[in-house]
């Protein structure tokens, strides 16, 4: 970690992110790692640990496709590689090449180069063929109908650089090309076939050499809707031990999969002598180099009930033939469809008829299906990515070759749209995030089977308390005693209050932090709600009571098998002893909504709760002073107990001081306001505007109080962070301004380090995604307050967000390790990511 001051050590503990909802977004590499696009970040996760390892910054637009060199298909050519490469393409047409170095088991990522601009519109697909360990040919397609073919050679020594040359640019037509596949023609080294599929229902086949031009040789007709996926097999070893044929599999929105066989029929001279009309009945014939090839339909596979988005041949396996080890192409195809199933197809041994031998997933009524399916390098795992930004992984756990037993595995998860706000539970057992993907999610570290050391902690999504119909903008945890509660505000005028059900409280005992911390088990007996149900048409989540009938409701009038597509499945909340999978999270971990708070005239924008758990403050989007009122709500009765007027535009952030006597608000109108909040003897709340100050030249995005006093920080689009102090005479003065930052400062969070010398640390998050830590010392004297500040740590870009940081929050509890203080910070951003960092001070 780059640091001006070696005292602070940083460690990235967790990244939660969902996958972009595009078709060619995911790639499983020969390295064993999976890459995917998360907004404009390229994320990489390890399927073994179900943890996202890193995000790669570089793209300015949303990432559409990623492709490993070598991918799982060419794992047999990449047994002991020290370096693996990754291509990523975005919706601006930019393609970047990355390098992963795995020397000494230490993974180092590097931005190698950005390809010369060649696509005017977004990149839709990248495919590659590994000629050798250091040479590859790859093609990229764009929605403007242009396909570029590239040659890349990788260095054999670390001192050398990668060389990328554009071999050809094929302008197919004005319609988008959405899928590509490359193969070397049988018995014809250096001659390549390129299959293109797009919106005109035809598969176009081009042939060319590694040295240059690709020419159109034929079109394959048969599909009746857009071609969605194409994949060439590697050469098939027939009984003659000569690989004279390769297969091409295609899938379409017509729900059908077609298998085409491309066969070498002879050299050009012999074929010309035998040419006759009958020979064309089998299928188109074309010449490449000195050989003639013919393509015919091998099989048509019908089984999916919706668009088939992807098809992929199983990667080669090593088989012993006559005592020799040979890599051979298995006759096995994985397909993934919008009907939320993945199927494996193989020919029957006796008849040779292709049949569906494995089907995973479920025909679901309430979630759209899969955008793509991928094999692991060894063919024992299959991965799908879905409409909700989610991953679904199955592994064949059967020990015998004859039978198969595909079981669901843990996968990383996260939001699939910008994450707008994040907050910690009262004692830091878990964190809660909200997003424009209309969900609220809980993340926590789980106890590992091997041990419970901090090194072993793995974070996973624990619950999805709210699945809503509006984008969610803000969240606040209700402090104080009693059950876990939070309030959230979305693109609607209502503040919603949620309370933890019993199933969540019991699950919390299995996390690293354990559930004892803030809500002991003897009090949990009062919780009568087991979970919550999603209503089919409304936005409220209805409670499921502990002693209600356990029989699911008969929603279909008792007609068996008539499961209508309008119903939402009945939730079955339960205590979870291990991290839940996507289907459990989506329906069975909801929290019941206990109250709705009406009052605001526009969409909610900011929420906060005081530290005793007595008051919640809220603000909404505003263009006028009357709309920019801050409402105060009393926790428990949930009555409105105050309307604070000061600002003229949207209040962007609210925070109570740590002694709960002051409320700070910052706004688009470039002012901050400080209100004094008092409770009268009869329990009423009184409030008074103490000060309103024009603090910055542009919108103020965030504010944060010093835990040890009445000082606070404000951050703004004018790229500055200012520190203010409330003096004894209630005057507010600026005591410090941090040096100007490189971009707009969108988030700030202050935590205390030492109560005696009033030292603390201010975390600063920027629109560029970067995060910095600044040490701050407050010096209080009779003549006034002053402060000193020093940069403690500048996190390196590979650890940070890839677009704007929306919120930073310090964990309320801290640990000590060998006289070092361990502080935990969480952040969320527009790159769909929630991140957790550990810092040793």
**C-beta separation of 342 from 359 below 8 A:** yes
Rounded Cα distance between 756 and 37, Å, is 46
Backbone angles phi, psi at 585, to 5 degrees: -60, -45
Distance (Å, rounded) from C-alpha 89 to C-alpha 64? 6
Mean per-residue pLDDT for 345-362?
91
Q: Torsion angle, CA of 630/745/717/692, rounded to 10 degrees?
A: 40
User: What token pair was written down for 749?
Assistant: 């969070």
d(CA 327, CA 321): 10
pLDDT in the model for residue 531: 79
Mean pLDDT for the stretch of residues 95-106: 87
Per cent of the chain over pLDDT 90 is: 59
Q: What's the confidence (pLDDT) of residue 816?
A: 65
Query: What would the pLDDT profile of 239-259 be if each residue is shown by its tens digit?
Result: 554 578 899 999 999 999 999
Kindly tell me if the per-residue pLDDT of 553 is higher than 50.
no
Summarised one tens digit per residue, pLDDT across range 131-154 is: 988 899 999 999 888 999 999 998
Confidence bin at 524 (pLDDT 50/70/90): low
pLDDT value of residue 523 = 60
Structure confidence at residue 555 (pLDDT): 40
Phi, psi angles (nearest 5°) of residue 583: -65, -35
Do residues 40 and 59 lie in contact, with contact meaning Cβ atoms separated by under 8 Å? yes
Q: Give bridge partners of residue 97 from the DSSP assignment.
A: 87, 113
Q: Are 1 and 44 in contact (CB under 8 A)?
A: no
The answer to whether residue 274 scores a pLDDT higher than 60 is no
pLDDT tens string 599-611: 999 999 999 999 9
Residue 238 has pLDDT above 70, yes or no: no
Q: Token match 């637009």: residue?
A: 61
- Contact by Cβ (8 Å): 807, 827: yes
Output phi, psi for 367, to 5 deg. -130, 135
* 468-471-476 Cα angle (round to 5): 80
Q: Which residue has the higher pLDDT, 450 or 399?
A: 399
Q: Per-residue pLDDT averaged across 532-550, rounded? A: 70
Q: What integer pLDDT is reported at residue 367 of this predicted model?
A: 59
Q: pLDDT for 278-335, tens place per residue? A: 555 677 888 888 888 889 999 999 999 989 999 999 998 877 666 666 778 889 999 9
Instruction: Report how far residue 465's alpha carbon sits from residue 588's, in angstroms, rounded to the nearest whole number.
Output: 9
Identify the band that residue 521 occupies on the pLDDT scale cut at 50, 70 and 90: low
Q: 68-77, 399-408, 452-461: which range is least confident on average?
A: 452-461
CA 55, CA 419: separation in Å to the nearest integer?
Answer: 16
Please report the DSSP string for 52-118 in residue order. EEEEE---SS-EEEEEEESBGGGGGG-TT-SEEEEEEEETTS-EEEEEEE-GGG--EEEEEEEPPP-
Q: What is the pLDDT of residue 813?
A: 73
Give the residue from 803, 770, 741, 799 showing the smallest Cα distance to 60. Answer: 803
Q: What is the spatial distance between Cα 537 and Cα 532, in angstroms, rounded to a whole number?
A: 15
CB 515 within 8 A of CB 521: yes
Structure confidence at residue 569 (pLDDT): 60
pLDDT of residue 446: 84
Please tell me the predicted confidence (pLDDT) of residue 587: 81
pLDDT band at 78 (very low <50, low <70, confident <90, very high): confident
**pLDDT score at 325:** 67
**pLDDT mean across residues, the chain:** 86
User: Can you tell me the mean pLDDT for 697-719?
Assistant: 95
d(CA 513, CA 440): 20
DSSP 3-state of 557 = coil
For the stretch 717-739, pLDDT in tens is 999 999 999 988 788 999 999 99
Whose structure tokens read 């064949």? 396
Q: Are 182 and 193 in contact (CB under 8 A)?
A: yes
- Residue 507 in tokens: 């699950």
Torsion of CA 300, 305, 306, 310, to 10 degrees: -50
**pLDDT for 622-669, tens place per residue?**
999 999 999 999 998 999 999 999 999 999 999 999 999 999 999 999
Closest by CA position to 309, among listed 224, 394, 230, 393: 230
pLDDT value at 346 more than 50: yes
Q: How confident is the model at residue 556 (pLDDT cuts 50, 70, 90)?
A: very low
Stronger pLDDT, 647 or 77, i.e. the higher one: 647
Label residue 364 exposed, middle or buried (CB < 10 Å: 0-12, 13-18, 19+): middle
pLDDT at residue 454, rounded to an integer? 44
Q: Give dist(CA 815, CA 376) in Å, integer.
A: 39
Q: What is the pLDDT of residue 279?
A: 58
Average pLDDT over residues 513-538: 65
d(CA 519, CA 91): 47
519 three-state secondary structure: coil
Strand partners of residue 486: 477, 498
Q: Rounded mean pLDDT of 191-212?
A: 90
Among left, alpha and beta (phi > 0; psi -120 to 50; other), residue 522 is alpha
């Amino acid at each position: 970690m780059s640091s001006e001051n070696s005292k602070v050590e940083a460690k990235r503990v967790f990244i939660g992110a969902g996958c972009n909802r595009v078709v060619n977004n995911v790639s499983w590499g020969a390295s064993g790692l999976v890459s995917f696009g998360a907004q404009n970040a390229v994320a990489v996760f390890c399927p073994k640990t179900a943890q996202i390892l890193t995000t790669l910054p570089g793209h300015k637009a949303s990432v559409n496709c990623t492709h490993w060199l070598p991918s799982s298909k060419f794992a047999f050519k990449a047994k002991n590689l020290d370096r693996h490469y990754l291509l990523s393409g975005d919706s601006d047409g930019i393609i970047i090449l990355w390098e992963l170095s795995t020397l000494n088991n230490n993974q180092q990522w590097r931005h190698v180069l950005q390809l010369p601009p060649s696509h005017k519109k977004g990149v839709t697909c990248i495919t590659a063929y590994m000629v050798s360990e250091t040479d590859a040919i790859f093609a990229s397609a764009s929605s403007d109908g242009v396909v570029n073919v590239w040659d890349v050679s990788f260095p054999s020594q670390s001192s050398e650089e990668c060389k990328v040359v554009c071999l050809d640019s094929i302008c197919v037509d004005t319609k988008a090309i959405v899928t590509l596949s490359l193969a070397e023609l049988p018995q014809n080294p250096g001659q390549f076939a390129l299959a293109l599929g797009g919106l005109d229902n035809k598969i176009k086949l081009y042939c060319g050499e590694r040295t240059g031009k690709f020419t159109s040789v034929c079109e394959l007709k048969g599909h009746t809707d857009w071609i969605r996926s194409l994949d060439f097999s590697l050469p098939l070893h027939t009984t003659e031990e000569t690989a004279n044929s390769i297969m091409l599999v295609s899938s379409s929105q017509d729900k059908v999969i077609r298998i085409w066989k491309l066969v070498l029929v002879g050299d050009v001279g012999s074929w010309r002598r035998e040419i006759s009309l009958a020979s064309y009945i089998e299928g188109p014939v074309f010449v490449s180099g000195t050989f003639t090839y013919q393509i015919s339909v091998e099989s048509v596979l019908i089984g999916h009930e919706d668009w088939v988005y992807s098809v992929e041949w199983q990667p080669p396996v090593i088989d012993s033939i006559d005592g020799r080890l040979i890599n051979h192409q298995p006759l096995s195809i994985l397909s993934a469809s919008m009907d939320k199933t993945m199927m494996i197809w193989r020919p029957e041994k006796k008849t040779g008829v292709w049949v569906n031998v494995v089907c995973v997933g479920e025909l679901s009524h309430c979630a759209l299906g899969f955008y793509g399916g991928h094999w692991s390098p060894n063919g024992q795992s299959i991965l799908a990515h879905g409409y909700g930004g989610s991953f679904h992984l199955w592994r064949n756990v059967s020990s015998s070759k004859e039978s198969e037993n595909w079981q669901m595995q843990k996968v990383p998860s996260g939001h699939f749209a910008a994450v707008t706000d994040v907050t910690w539970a009262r004692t830091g057992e878990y964190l809660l995030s909200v997003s424009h993907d209309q969900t609220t999610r809980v993340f926590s570290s789980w106890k590992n089977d091997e041990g419970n050391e901090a090194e072993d902690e793995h974070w996973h999504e624990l619950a999805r308390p709210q699945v809503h119909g509006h984008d969610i903008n803000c969240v606040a945890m209700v402090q104080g005693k009693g059950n876990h509660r939070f309030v959230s505000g979305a693109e609607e005028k209502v503040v919603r209050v949620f309370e933890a059900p019993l199933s969540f409280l019991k699950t919390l005992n299995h996390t690293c932090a354990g559930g004892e911390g803030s809500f002991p088990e003897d009090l949990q007996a009062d919780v009568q709600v087991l979970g919550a149900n999603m209503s089919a048409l409304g936005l409220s989540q209805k409670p499921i009571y502990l002693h209600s009938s356990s029989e699911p409701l008969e929603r279909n009038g008792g007609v068996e098998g008539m499961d209508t597509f309008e119903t939402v499945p009945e939730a079955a909340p339960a205590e979870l002893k291990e991290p839940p999978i996507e289907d459990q999270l989506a329906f069975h971990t909801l929290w019941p909504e206990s109250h709705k708070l009406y009052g605001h005239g526009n969409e909610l924008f900011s929420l906060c709760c005081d530290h005793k758990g007595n008051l919640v403050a809220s603000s909404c989007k505003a263009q006028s002073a009357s709309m920019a009122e801050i409402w105060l709500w009393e926790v428990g009765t949930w009555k409105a107990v105050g309307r604070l007027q000061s600002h003229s535009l949207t209040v962007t952030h609210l925070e109570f001081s740590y002694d709960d006597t002051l409320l700070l608000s910052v706004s688009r109108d470039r002012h901050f306001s400080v209100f004094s909040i008092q409770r009268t003897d009869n329990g009423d709340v009184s409030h008074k505007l103490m000060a309103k100050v024009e603090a910055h030249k542009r919108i103020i995005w965030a504010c944060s109080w010093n835990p040890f006093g009445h000082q606070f920080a404000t951050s703004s689009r004018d790229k500055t962070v200012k520190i203010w102090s409330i003096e004894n005479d209630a005057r507010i003065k600026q005591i410090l301004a941090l040096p100007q930052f490189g971009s707009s400062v969108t988030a700030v969070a202050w935590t205390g380090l030492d109560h005696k010398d009033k030292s603390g640390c201010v975390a600063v998050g920027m629109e560029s995604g970067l995060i910095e830590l600044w040490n701050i010392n407050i010096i209080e004297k009779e003549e006034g307050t002053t402060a000193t500040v020093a940069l403690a740590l500048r996190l390196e870009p590979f650890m940070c967000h890839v677009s704007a940081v929306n919120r930073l929050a310090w964990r309320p509890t801290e640990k000590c390790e060998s006289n070092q203080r361990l502080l935990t910070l969480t952040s969320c951003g527009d790159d769909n990511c929630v991140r957790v960092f550990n810092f040793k001070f």
